[in-house]
Amino acid sequence: MAEHVAQRGTDHASIRRVDHGAEVGTTEVLAEFAATGAPVAADHSAEVSRALVDTVAVTLGGAGAPGERILRGWSRAESPSGPATLWTSGEPTSASTAALVNGTVAHLLDFDDISPSMPLHPSAVLIPALVALGEARGTDSSAFTESYDVGAAAFRALADILPQHVHYARGWHSTSTIGRLAAVAALVRLVGLDAGTARNALGIASSLAAGSRLNFGSMTKPLHAGAAARDAVMAVELSEAGFTANPAELEAPNGFLERYGDPAEAPVGLPAQTLEERLEYWTDAWVQDWGIKQYASCYGTHRGIDAMLAIRREHAEAGRQDCPIEVRATLHRRGTRPLRSTPPTTGTEAKFSLEYTLAVACLRGRVALADFTEEAFADEQVHALMRAVTVAENRVPPVGPADYTTGFTVVEAMYADGSTRAARVEVTHGQSADPLTDAELRAKAVDCVLAGGYEAAVADQIIEVATREPGPAVTSVLSRRNPS
């Protein structure tokens, strides 16, 4: 496998660019890119290592949760043995089942990585799929990194051409729908499929694309990520075996782009040409549109949490300890779409409540994994402050300049004496523009493994292996530790 990838890499200079004078569609563009596209110029092994550490750690953090126990128990009967590994228990299983379970649990805590410019959780789909098939086939770290680059670019480029804001507004969970195609592209590069076989794999995965935003706050929301990873593995394996699909599934009438997107809202120009351009751009640029979460809640809450914590610090520095009597949060247009519009009734639902996360940040001075347990959620003081929080959208921030980049949240706190404090956040700590330090990533990994019932040393073992050799070798430290 490694020799095949290395040999293919020497041929990149001779790969033809797509001739847009001919009838070339988006399926062929994506298939050609996945199978034979030029490798990225920059070395992203450090970023892929960090994505691997973060994804495995947050997966272990979900060990023992009801959703994890149910799915792992189901998987034993579904596929009791195989070449791949269930990360939370070290049990062997098939590649597709490993991708399903690990991808689901990676997204279970809503603590996995993000794309700040669009509602995507790339690694919860890509990493489980790549690790599972990499275990089954064998791969080296350079091929793993290159394949992740392909998937990360495909995720964002496909989101661009749909466009994703229309897709998401219709109720689709883009991590799941777009994720199937992005993961297929990554796996195509990993196993060395030719473009024709890749087109069939894309057609298979496109036909299975699903995932409803109405399930946010339930166990089914993370299942979307796992199902996308599983379907990508299955699509590649079936296509390799000769299973067929429409080779023009993305661009055909009633195809993926028409079903899930809106040509009238898409970027100007031919979709195939636009996709090719966006793939070329994102192959290098995905690392600038990436972030590792510092809070175990929906990314739509993170700017608000940062803002509230800043207000709390400023208030304390002034010698004040009183809580606000009213809080207003204003987000950019479409910023509230991932959030709950009704009060949460469980700790899991609270991950999607800006009212809850702002109240916790104000009262407790942090937002941690433990704040989403049912015991923490039951705190009446938190619920009382939640009722004083209002959330709205506006095209123009109420504080500071009118211009902003990918989004903003402004939090304004009003106090009983008539005083007010406000904070505005556009870039959250953890984004590539302000990344977590290595020490902060380790602290997050330790918190996660402890929450899952493992020893803190497991976090250091994951970091050591993932840094030295990003890829399926990380499963060597995931021995059977989780209770049945």
Q: What is the pLDDT of residue 1?
A: 34
Q: Which amino acid is at 330?
A: T
**Residue 421 pairs with which residues in a beta bridge?**
413
Element (H, E) at 279: helix 271-285
Q: What is the pLDDT of residue 38?
A: 81
Q: Which amino acid is at 266?
A: A
The full length of the chain comes to: 484
Q: Cα-flanking dihedrals φ and ψ of residue 409, to 5°?
A: -135, 130
pLDDT over 70 percentage in the chain: 94
Provide the CA 410 distance to its chain's centre, in angstroms: 24
- Pairing of the two strands 389-393 and 326-331: parallel
In terms of phi and psi (left: phi > 0; alpha: psi -120 to 50; beta: otherwise), the region of 281 is alpha
- Domains, the chain: 2-288 (1.10.4100.10), 299-425 (3.30.1330.120)
Element (H, E) at 153: helix 141-161
Provide the CA 296 distance to its chain's centre, in angstroms: 13
Contact (Cβ atoms closer than 8 angstroms) between residue 438 and residue 107 = no
Q: How far apart are alpha carbons 358 and 364 in whole angstroms? A: 10
Picking from 441, 393, 360, 465, the residue whose alpha carbon sits closest to that of residue 111 is: 441
Element (H, E) at 58: helix 45-61
CA atoms within 13 A on the CB side of 426: 12
Select the more confidently predicted residue: 12 or 209. Answer: 209
What residues contact residue 230 under an 8 Å CB cut-off, 6+ apart?
96, 97, 99, 100, 103, 129
Only one residue has tokens 């890509």, namely 126
Q: Count each helix (H run) and each strand (E run) in the chain, helices first.
A: 20, 6
Asked if residue 325 has pLDDT above 60, the reply is yes
Look up the pTM and report it. 0.90
Q: Which amino acid is at 24?
A: V
Provide the CA 108 distance to its chain's centre, in angstroms: 11
Q: What is the pLDDT of residue 406?
A: 87
Q: Is the dihedral of CA 246, 248, 250, 256 positive or negative?
A: negative
Contact (Cβ atoms closer than 8 angstroms) between residue 351 and residue 215 = no
Q: Going edge to edge, which strands form the sheet with 409-414?
A: 389-393, 326-331, 409-414, 420-425
Q: How far apart are alpha carbons 319 and 315 in whole angstroms? A: 7
Q: Cα-flanking dihedrals φ and ψ of residue 283, to 5°?
A: -60, -40
pLDDT band at residue 481 using 50, 70 and 90 as cut-offs? low
Q: In this predicted model, what pLDDT tens digit does every residue of 1-37 receive, in sequence order?
A: 333 333 333 333 333 344 444 468 999 999 999 999 8
State the average pLDDT over residues 357-364.
97
Return the percent helix, strand and coil in the chain, to nearest 5.
55, 5, 40
pLDDT band at residue 368 using 50, 70 and 90 as cut-offs? very high
Taking CA atoms, 311 is separated from 293, 380, 422, in Å, by 20, 22, 7
pLDDT band at residue 40 using 50, 70 and 90 as cut-offs? confident
Q: What is the pLDDT of residue 45?
A: 96
Picking from 296, 301, 298, the residue whose alpha carbon sits closest to that of residue 386 is: 301
